[in-house]
């Protein structure tokens, strides 16, 4: 039992450092206590994820496990003392009389997170992030449908592009002051391909790849659905005289022919390096949207450590280079690129702010259901931020072999009935 002067919640950073040294963790005392000012309350609120993630970023797993083990053991030792002094043993919040009965009934310590819901209700949720493959498939289908809608809209807007002789390129501060670089647009697509390769690699090794993919599909689908509306509302004149666009009349094509052209655009992902040439789909830039999303997802779902600093820097450099190449190619107006970057970054930040903060989502749930219809379904089980944890090549090999073995058993049972 702690005396009043040495009550653990009143410990200073120096006392925490002494405790860490006594437990054999003295080498981390300067990092935790001097640099990050960890006191008694902070010690009891420390979790394994805090030690793994920035700004602490301890890289030795054994040390992390031993520190957490000693903290958990200490919690159990003085659990009753903390409660007797009028504190909730889990949240360390001072308990008022109106809450004492509730705390008493849940006083035994469990390793779970408490998510506070409005109107005074408490919802205890497991700390395990489930793969939920079905949600990833739903998000993928959503992106698939939206991509088809966008491809068909691109066929429509191509037929509505204004006549270049009657409607010359609009004034643009940036395009009017830089020379045309014909090969720049293809270079921007190569930059996007490089970012896509990096993102696929991240998803292959990330332990929570299904969560990453469903968020990527949902956000990209939402941005492209918005683009399907903006490009068809207003038809801008072509941004450069080098662009060869000849609008067709609607009578020249049947619906079937339009669908066939839409399939060609969809199959080639709208890329010029795939031989796709479209006109009229300017506001806003789909290329900028894609490379910006890829950059944001790569930097969000890789650790913020020195090892990955080069990767984060590369992602930003490639993102900026791709945007510069889009402008240098005169394939988009500056406003197309600016709005695309703004919308993409805001969508990403807004989505992840709500996903990582359930209390904020509950407060804003009505508007979220309107503007992000899928969000409530896709993120309903999320209780915390997705940790950046990775599988090794050996673990992936074992996992793949296990799935192949299970598939072979299923096929064999189908061929050879019981």
Q: Given 50, 172, 281, 336, which residue is catalytic? A: 336
Q: Given 158, 206, 287, 330, which residue is catalytic? A: 287
330 in active site: no
47 in active site: no
| CA 223 from centre of chain | 14
The residues near 368 (Cβ < 8 Å, ≥ 6 apart) are 354, 361, 375, 376
| CA 195 from centre of chain | 15
Tokens standing for residue 348: 């990403």
The SS3 call for residue 94 is strand
| CA 34 from centre of chain | 33
The SS3 call for residue 123 is strand
336 in active site: yes
**Residue 290 · residue 325 · CB < 8 Å:** no
| CA 188 from centre of chain | 23
CA nearest neighbour of 391 among 212, 204, 215, 214: 204
Q: Given 158, 206, 332, 352, which residue is catalytic? A: 332
Phi, psi of 259 (to 5 degrees): -65, -35
Tokens standing for residue 210: 């299904």
Distance CA 309, CA 317 (A): 12
- Residues noted as catalytic: 287, 332, 336
């Amino acid at each position: 039992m702690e005396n009043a002067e040495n009550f653990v919640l009143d410990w200073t950073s120096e006392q925490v450092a002494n405790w860490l040294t006594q437990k054999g963790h003295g080498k981390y005392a300067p990092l935790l206590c001097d640099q990050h000012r960890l006191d008694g309350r902070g010690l009891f609120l420390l979790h394994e994820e805090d030690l793994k993630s920035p700004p602490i970023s301890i890289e030795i797993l054994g040390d992390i496990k031993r520190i957490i083990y000693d903290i958990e053991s200490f919690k159990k030792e003085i659990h009753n003392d903390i409660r007797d002094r009028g504190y909730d043993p889990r949240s360390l919040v001072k308990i008022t009389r109106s809450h004492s009965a509730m705390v008493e009934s849940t006083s035994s310590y469990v390793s779970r997170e408490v998510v506070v819901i409005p109107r005074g209700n408490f919802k205890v949720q497991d700390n395990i992030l489930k793969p939920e493959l079905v949600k990833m498939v739903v998000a993928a289908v959503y992106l698939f449908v939206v991509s088809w809608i966008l491809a068909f809209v691109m066929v429509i807007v191509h037929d509505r592009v204004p006549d270049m002789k009657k409607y010359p390129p609009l004034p643009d501060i940036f395009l009017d002051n830089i020379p045309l670089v014909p090969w720049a647009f293809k270079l921007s697509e190569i930059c996007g391909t490089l970012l896509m390769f990096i993102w696929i690699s991240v998803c292959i090794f990330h332990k929570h790849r299904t969560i990453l993919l469903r968020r990527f599909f949902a956000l990209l689908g939402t941005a492209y659905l918005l683009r399907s509306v903006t490009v068809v509302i207003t038809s801008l004149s072509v941004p450069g005289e080098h662009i060869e666009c000849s609008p067709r009349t609607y009578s020249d094509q049947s619906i079937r022919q339009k669908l066939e052209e839409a399939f060609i655009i969809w199959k080639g992902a709208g890329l010029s390096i795939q031989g796709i040439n479209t006109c009229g789909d300017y506001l806003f830039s789909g290329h900028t949207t894609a490379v910006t999303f890829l950059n944001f997802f790569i930097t969000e779902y890789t650790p913020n450590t020195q090892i990955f600093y080069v990767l984060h820097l590369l992602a930003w450099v490639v993102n900026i280079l791709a945007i510069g190449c889009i402008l240098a190619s005169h394939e988009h107006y500056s406003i197309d690129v600016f709005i695309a970057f703004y919308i993409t970054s805001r969508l990403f930040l807004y989505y992840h702010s709500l996903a990582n903060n359930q209390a904020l989502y509950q407060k804003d749930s009505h508007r979220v259901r309107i503007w992000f219809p899928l969000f409530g379904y896709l993120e309903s089980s999320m209780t915390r931020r997705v940790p950046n944890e990775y599988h090794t090549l050996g673990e992936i090999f074992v996992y793949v072999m296990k799935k192949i073995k299970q598939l072979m058993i299923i096929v064999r049972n189908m061929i050879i009935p019981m």
